[in-house]
Amino acid sequence: MEHEDLIVKITCDVGGTFTDVVVSDQEGRMAVGKALTSPPHLIKGLIAAIGVAAEQFSTSTRELLERCELFVYSTTQATNAILERKTAKTALLVTEGFPDILVRREGGSMLPYDFSRQFPEPYVPRRLTYEVDERISSEGKVVKPLDQDSVLKVIESLRVNEVETVAVSLLWSTANGEHEIAVGKAIEQELGIPFTLSHELNPIVREYRRASGTAIDASLKVLMPGHLEEIENGLAEAGFQGELLAATSVGGALPMQDLIDRPIYAAKSGPSLAPVAGSLYTEELESDDLIVCDTGGTSFDISLVRSGAIVATRETWLGGMFTGHLTGLSSVDVRSIGAGGGSIAWVDPGGLLRVGPESAGADPGPACYGKGGTKPTVTDAAVVLGYLDPDDFLGGRMKLDLEAAQAVLAGLAGELGIDVPRAAEAVMTVANEHMVDAIKEITINQGIDPRRSGIVAGGGAAGLGIAAIAAELGCARVMLPRTAGALSAFGGQFSDILIEEGRSAWCSTDDFQPEIVNEALSEIDLALRPFADRLAENGVTEQRIERTVEARYPHQVWTLDIPLEVDRFENETQVADLVESFHQNHERVFAVSEPGQSVEIVHVVGRLVAEPLKPRRGAARLTTAAEQAGPRIRKAHFRNHGELEVEVRSGSNLEPGAAFDGPLLVTEPTTTIVVPPGWRVSVTPIGDYLLEAK
């Protein structure tokens, strides 16, 4: 097509191994670009991936970017920095007498009888936690005025200890934030370093969550601004002049500057876009409950679409549940395990085969990448089994070293006392079992029967084992989008701009005081107004505000998010409707309810939803001449079947309605779909792949 008429939207997902890019034009045609991630300067891999997509539009990288109206950037940088403890040196300031909020934590244990496990370390070391002489009551009254001298002494200690950023989380600042504001001003005047105030970031009652989220946000305020500005400047130098958004953990996007101001929303932002893509397929899979699997090079991410809606949570742990760190903020409920194409296979001292959680990453990567990797990975096993063509990886742009893969698998086979093909099969089987266990945890443990759910699979390694995973779960239908190799980036094409504000507002429905909730709703609307106005000025006029309350039965620990059907509470009927909605949701989630029982509201949330440019679904995917090879025959190994001759078909040659029985391999530039014996693959009317058990 003529690039002069090109109007595009670009979305990306910068992962630990690969950088994925999806580009759509005004007619809805899409191109997928994938390149190795290039730490520490991620812009290099991003520009390379954009270049791959630009080739499919018969244009240059600069010309493509110059005509791009909207760019959505997503990265795992924040999550990786937190998990690898590569964040800034952070101090925590708390009310005098409460220095152990992060030490004592909140929650239980997934292994309550394992006494060999060490109690987790706090996010901010105890030695960098400082007490401030002040006290606010739960009603917002000043019980003890802020001691300015104590603040100055703390600031001097921060200077001596070369602290880079500060989290301020004072008791009951949610009821009255004047002391936190005064401390923030002192830090700004005396030190000039970044800081986060808890009542501004997340004004909730629960102390640990508020302090933990504040500490995480503050710790990212040195790393993320520099990183995001590097991306912004790099794209501008490459020709981009449009609107730049950044993906967030709530499954949407924010203007880049807003994410710089609240970097905690970048944590788990990449995986949050996969269920956005998955939610598009409820009709095709004939199910409102979908399991969304995103298999990358480093991790396997699972999320849910339940009753047609993406499942969100405020129990967002970075790291293991109860052992990691809690953000305290709403996010898409994504569970991640260290199982992906780059996961390393090894034999433990007891002689058992293990896969992951360590990954070979992008550098050196799996041995078959030919970059010096010496440890066997899932990708090496896939090459040895014949699933991946060494001469046709990434659409032929990257050659794989079969001999190197065989060599590292031979070493593993020697340790296990089996031949190389069986060792490769074992690696794939163990990796798949890890993924099955992770899916069961997020489905069966939450009352969802995977046998009655559809699966939407994506990620570069998704097609290698998803049929085997589905068979183990008893799920007979799996959808792999044409853009499955870049599922999160594909989801970004259909994501909204989401900006969330919350306020604490405790009241009980047995003595309901509407002014408390209505005041919180008014404050939220006022806080969201500047965002709405700025978006409208930039042409994003399709906007709405979604309001919810966090509610619980009296004295419960856990809350449920209940959507509000009204802007303000004006009569008793509206309150009764809220109570009934809570009972119904409680029954659905916990399989029990207490009709007649009062309900406590503890928090009010408002979410501004703005709909930017989105592509039309179903338009043809652009391809290059290298992708249009005819069918060919290759040998591949299948569990319980041994080595078989299988047909290999290029996805670019398959028209809607085409259907084939396994064994079969379908190649796409960014993934390979393994169709084992007993399964059938068909091309849907809009060009995606539907796997069905026969």
* 223, containing H or E segment: helix 223-237
Lowest mean pLDDT among 151-165, 418-432, 540-554, 620-634: 620-634
Question: What pLDDT is recorded for position 1?
Answer: 39
Mean pLDDT across the chain: 89
CA dihedral 571, 572, 578, 580 (to 10 degrees): -150
Handedness of CA 30, 34, 37, 42 (dihedral sign): negative
Question: Is 628 buried (19+), middle (13-18) or exposed (0-12) by CB count in 10 A?
Answer: exposed
Q: Which H or E run includes 430?
A: helix 420-443
Q: Let me know how long the chain is.
A: 694
**Residue 367 region, left (φ>0) first, then alpha (ψ -120 to 50), else beta?**
alpha
Q: What is the pLDDT of residues 244-274, one digit of tens each?
A: 999 999 888 988 888 999 999 998 888 899 9
Q: Would you state the structure tokens that stand for residue 520, as one six-digit string?
A: 């919180």
Look at residues 461, 471, 419 and name the one whose alpha carbon lies nearest to residue 677: 471
DSSP for 574-597 reads HHHHHHHHHHHHHHHHHS---TT-
Does the pLDDT value for residue 629 go beyond 70? no
Going by their DSSP bridges, the two strands 632-638 and 642-650 should be labelled as antiparallel
Per-residue DSSP letter, 655: P
SS3 string of 621-653?
ECCCHHHCCCCEEEEEEECCCEEEEEEEEEHHH
Q: How far is CA 588 from CA 97, 305, 307, 583, 592, in A?
A: 41, 15, 11, 9, 8
Query: Comparing 123-127, 413-417, 446-450, 457-461, which segment has the lowest mean pLDDT?
Result: 446-450
Q: Check the CA dihedral 343-345-349-352 and report its sign.
A: positive
- Spatial contact of 498 and 250, defined as CB atoms under 8 Å apart: yes
Q: Are 384 and 405 in contact (CB under 8 A)?
A: yes
- Which burial class, exposed, middle or buried, applies to 537 when counting CB atoms under 10 A from its CB (0-12, 13-18, 19+)? exposed
| Number of neighbours of residue 111 by Cβ within 10 angstroms | 12
Mean pLDDT for 179-198 is 96
Mean pLDDT, range 143-171, rounded to an integer: 96
Radius of gyration of the chain (CA): 26
Nearest residue to 267 via CA among 399, 533, 87 = 87
Between CA 511 and CA 600 the distance in angstroms is 10
Token pair, residue 601, equals 């509201």
Distance CA 478, CA 453 (A): 9
Mean pLDDT across the stretch 681-685?
Answer: 93
Using CA atoms, how far apart are residues 225 and 260, in angstroms rounded to an integer? 5
Could you say which DSSP state residue 497 is in?
E
pTM of the model: 0.86
- Give per-residue pLDDT as tens, 418-460: 999 999 999 999 999 999 998 998 888 777 888 889 999 998 8
Q: Mean of the pLDDT values across residues 55-72?
A: 92
Q: What are residue 549's phi and psi, to 5 degrees?
A: -125, 145
- Crossing angle, helix 178-190 and helix 148-160, to 10 degrees? 40
> What is the pLDDT averaged over residues 374-393?
91
Cα separation, 169 vs 146, whole angstroms: 14
pLDDT in tens, 212-249: 999 999 999 999 988 889 999 999 999 999 889 999 99
Write the CB contacts of 504 (distance below 8 Å, at least 6 apart in sequence). 174, 175, 203, 204, 205, 520, 602, 603, 604
The residue-averaged pLDDT of 15-27 equals: 86
Q: For the segment 507-531, what is each residue's pLDDT rounded down to a tens digit?
A: 999 989 999 999 999 999 999 999 9
Rounded to an integer, the average pLDDT of 373-396 is: 89
Q: How many CB atoms lie within 10 A of CB 412?
A: 22
Handedness of CA 424, 428, 433, 438 (dihedral sign): positive
Q: What is the pLDDT of residues 279-309, one digit of tens each?
A: 999 988 988 889 999 988 778 889 999 888 8
110: pLDDT strictly greater than 80:
no
pLDDT of 624 higher than 70: no
Tell which wins on pLDDT, 652 or 681. Answer: 681
The residues, any chain, with a CB within 8 Å of residue 579's CB and separated by 6 or more, are: 509, 598, 599
Report residue 62 as tokens.
């600069």
Q: Give the percent of the chain with pLDDT over 70.
A: 97
Task: Give the confidence band of 3 by pLDDT, cuts at 50, 70, 90.
Answer: very low
Number of H helices, E strands in the chain: 18, 35
- pLDDT for res 2: 44
| Beta carbons of 624 and 414 less than 8 angstroms apart | no
pLDDT at residue number 537 = 86
Task: Count CB neighbours of 693 within 10 A.
Answer: 15
Residues 6+ apart with CB under 8 A from 37: 14, 15, 16, 17, 18, 19, 45, 362
